Amino acid sequence: MRKKIVAGNWKMNMTLDEGHALVAGVLKGLPELSNDKQVVFAPPFLNIQHTVYQVEDVQHVHVAAQNCHSEVSGAYTGEVSAKMIAACDATYVIIGHSERREYCHETDAMLAQKTDVALDNGLKVIFCCGESLEIRDAGTQNEFVEAQLKAGLFHLHKHQLANIVVAYEPIWAIGTGRTASSQQAQDMHAHIRSVFAAQYGQPTADSLTILYGGSCKPSNAAELFACPDVDGGLIGGASLKAEEFLGIIDAMVKA
Ligand code: PGA
């Protein structure tokens, strides 16, 4: 059975103290999570180690980095390697978020390299994809997302797919308050699964966790998570308040 995950992407928010309080608040209200469910915190690099210590005794709760460098090590001032993240006992790294693709000019080739270096260091990857409003309006979103996934992930061997989670995040829905309808999300998630099925076979596609991201909140999470191919969410804004994040976790637990 594939895993359901709710992951909170804090982006460039939360000092060490603020992050500590947020995690403490979420852990306080956390419902019991069965083996097929996970909650993930993706704090800024500076909070990773502390967050790992905070959740280390809590079952099914993990920590992710929001990015890693594409090279193993070396003269890259200001950067953080996958090995360093893994050494903090983080479990995941988010790769290919649309904000990094846009503001940091991350290319498909770079993302494929980051994926390799992350997997080589024992991290699991939350790989983001998603189209702009222009592409959605042109009706070519399926082809666009398919091309992103092929470029970033399809060089992997089938056995490596067990360490990949896909997050579909339509850019027009990120931080805009405009959520994809559950039908739009389901259609894209089913498409993504079919693309993986064609490349890696149906059993591999069936065990792939595909998250939805983009203005997901407690009021719409239940409807989104009820879709057969939506296996949870990558949450930005609503992951910054314990109560809201717990509302979304609750929707996953009940889905
Ligand atoms: P949002 O961000 O929930 O604030 O729309 C989602 C994301 O970028 O991961």
Average pLDDT over residues 221-245: 98
Nearest by Cα to 180 from 223, 145, 147, 236: 223
Which is it for strands 209-213 and 92-95: parallel, antiparallel or unpaired? unpaired
Contacts made by residues 134-139, CB under 8 angstroms, sequence distance 24+: 136/170, 136/172
| Dist. CA 73 → ligand 1 center (Å) | 30
- pLDDT, residue 179, reads 85
Element (H, E) at 158: none
In the prediction, which pLDDT does 178 show?
84
Ligand 1 in reach of 175 Cβ (< 6 A): yes
4-27+37-254 domain in CATH 3.20.20.70?
Answer: yes
Q: What's the rounded Cα separation, in Å, for the pair 159 and 136?
A: 32
Which residues does the annotation mark as catalytic?
Answer: 97, 169
How far out from the chain centre does Cα 241 lie?
18
Cβ–ligand 1 distance for 215 under 6 Å, the answer yes
User: What share of the chain has pLDDT > 90, as a percent?
Assistant: 97
Closest by CA to 125, choosing from 255, 234, 12, 246, is 234
pLDDT, tens digit (0-9, with 9 covering 90-100), for 126-171: 999 999 999 999 999 999 999 999 999 999 999 999 999 999 999 9
**Per-residue pLDDT band at 10 (split at 50, 70, 90):** very high
Domain ranges within the chain, ordered by starting residue? 4-27+37-254
pTM (predicted TM-score): 0.98
For residue 15, what are the CA distances in angstroms to 10, 18, 130? 11, 5, 29
Determine the Cα–Cα distance for residues 147 and 129; give it in Å rounded to an integer: 10
CB-based contacts of 99: which residues, under 8 Å, 6+ apart? 11, 174
CB atoms near residue 219 (< 10 Å)? 13
Whether 176 shows a pLDDT value over 90: the answer reads no
Measured from the CB, is residue 234 less than 6 Å from ligand 1?
Answer: yes
- 180: Cβ–Cβ under 8 A, 6 or more apart, which residues? 170, 173, 188, 212, 214
Please state, as a whole number, how many other Cβ atoms lie within 10 Å of the Cβ of residue 249.
25
- Our mutation pick for probing the ligand 1 site, out of 216, 220, 240, counting the most ligand atoms within 8 A of Cβ, is 216
pLDDT at residue 114 above 90? yes
Residue 177 predicted with pLDDT over 90: no
Q: Token pair 């460039």 is at which residue?
A: 12
Distance of CA 215 from the midpoint of ligand 1 (Å): 6
